[in-house]
Amino acid sequence: MEYEEEKKTFSYSWEESKRTAAEKLDGSYLLKTDRADLSAEEAWRIYTLLTRAEAAFRTLLVAVGGTADFPSQRVSRGSCACWRITG
């Protein structure tokens, strides 16, 4: 982003890869936890780390020719994922 004081103009450019990644996160989230010791920011950080770990594991499964079976919902205490490696 740039602002030219003399011309009173503002300009910007998009980093398309960052914009595309950010669009995937658009929406509203409601996180529920039994961890009363966590702030909202800490709960969000843990959630995003979990989703990144799951994405990395999916990538690994594809590399070894496996598949992942996910439950239709996350359970109320923590998360649940069932992995089946085939091949």
Q: What is the DSSP letter of 27?
A: S
| Spatial CB neighbours of 43, under 8 Å, sequence gap ≥ 6 | 31, 33, 35
Q: How confident is the model at residue 44 (pLDDT cuts 50, 70, 90)?
A: confident
| Spatial CB neighbours of 19, under 8 Å, sequence gap ≥ 6 | none
Determine the average pLDDT of the residues in 30-38. 84
pLDDT of residue 72: 46
pTM over 0.85: no
* Contact (CB, 8 A) for 2 and 10: yes
Q: Where are the alpha helices (DSSP H) in 4-83?
A: 16-23, 40-64
pLDDT exceeds cutoff 50 at 24: yes
pLDDT exceeds cutoff 60 at 80: no
